[in-house]
Amino acid sequence: MADTLHIPQPADKKLPKPDWIRVKAPQSEGYTSTRDLMRKNKLNTVCEEAACPNIGECWSKGHATVMILGSVCTRACAFCNIATGKPDQLDPHEPHNLAEAVGKLGLNHVVITSVDRDDLEDGGANHFAQCIEYIRTTAPDTTIEILTPDFRRKDGNLEIVVKARPDVFNHNIETVPRLYQKIRPGARYFHSLNLLKKVKEQDPSIFTKSGIMVGLGETMEEVLQVMDDFRSADIDFMTIGQYLQPTPAHAPVDRYVTPDEFRYLERVAYTKGFLMVSASPLTRSSYHADADFAKMRATRNKKLAETAAKAANDNQ
């Protein structure tokens, strides 16, 4: 990802996918069972709507990222495969149906995301809170990770979600500031950073998480600056994955970042103080989220114990 490696591609030239980005088509019994349960409970998933390359692996293990607030987004980001248009009506039964599915899957950790709902006065904040509350009631041992919109121009509604106390609050930055107008025109980079900073200020016990895609034309210097910005916002967990063009109408892939470069980015991110980093070609926000959450929580507990022990020694 260094500048010297950056070779712009003609807009009409589609890059061939390298071997490290290829995945097998889903075909396991576990995949089918998860799909059928989502259908039965009338739940949308970002796994399908965003054409995630990891759907076969995750669904075979009964892990699905549920997408609430409908299947139609009010924004049209250049990287996203989710439909844009007139939003669906809210399903009042969705929180209950989601909690029921979580219980049937026996999940230790669940990830809930949504489309952007700029049409709603609260941006969907109350719906997120209801989903969290229902799961707490029906599956109290399940930890909850949410991946929210930015609630831009929805003052006061972030607090509704924070008060529901998810275990992880994720909001993706997606790309570097220079590319926002082209890739994420409906959002603002520093608004998203500030959103995550506010979560930490309102409830320091909640883990915060954010991620970016690479391969959109960013430079190494820009990615490293994003890491520093994340740490200034006290973000605990950073994800970095390869951007994949969902259709010819979306932003083209500028280049495929190599596995060695991802490993380098992961090492650098850890030196900057993140509790958890996931960086690989196939990394996505919810990929291995359950295992990564367990590692992150263990790391924080260890650091808290070390800090307490040091304080006790200093007081002796």
Secondary-structure breakdown of the chain: helix, strand, coil percentages, each rounded to the nearest 5: 40, 15, 45
Q: How far is CA 259 from the centre of its chain?
A: 20
Is 189 in contact with 180 (CB distance < 8 Å)? yes
Best CA proximity match to 51, nearest among 74, 27, 83, 75 = 83
Query: In the structure, what pLDDT confidence band is assigned to residue 240 with cuts at 50, 70 and 90?
Result: very high
Residue with the bigger pLDDT between 2 and 198: it is 198
CA dist 289 to 119, 210, 237, 295, 296, Å? 30, 12, 11, 10, 10
Specify the residue for token string 């997408």: 67
Is 102 in contact with 136 (CB distance < 8 Å)? no
Contacts of 224 (CB under 8 A, 6+ apart): 268
Tell me which DSSP letter residue 281 carries.
T
User: What is the separation, in whole angstroms, between the first and last Cα of the chain?
Assistant: 50
In the chain, what percentage of residues exceed pLDDT 70?
Answer: 84
Mean pLDDT of the chain: 87
Mean pLDDT of 179-207: 97
What count of Cα atoms within 13 Å lies in the side-chain half-sphere of residue 172? Answer: 25
Is 64 in contact with 47 (CB distance < 8 Å)? yes
Q: How much is the pLDDT for 63?
A: 64
Least confident of 6-15, 57-66, 146-155: 6-15
pLDDT(164) > 70: yes
Q: Which two tokens stand for residue 109?
A: 């950790």
CA dist 316 to 213, 305, 310, 312, Å? 48, 17, 10, 7
Enumerate the β-bridge partners of residue 114: 68
Best CA proximity match to 102, nearest among 110, 94, 112 = 110
Q: How much is the pLDDT for 11?
A: 47
Rounded to 10 deg, the angle between the 259-271 and 220-232 helix axes is: 30
At the topology level, CATH places domain 24-309 in TIM Barrel (3.20.20)
316 burial level (CB within 10 Å; 0-12, 13-18, 19+):
exposed
Mean pLDDT of 41-60: 62
Residue with the bigger pLDDT between 230 and 54: it is 230
Listed by start position, the domains of the chain span 24-309
pLDDT(90) > 60: yes
Query: In the structure, what pLDDT confidence band is assigned to residue 6 with cuts at 50, 70 and 90?
Result: very low
Quick: pLDDT tens for 138-161. 999 999 999 999 999 899 999 999
Q: How much is the pLDDT for 288?
A: 82
Q: How much is the pLDDT for 128?
A: 97
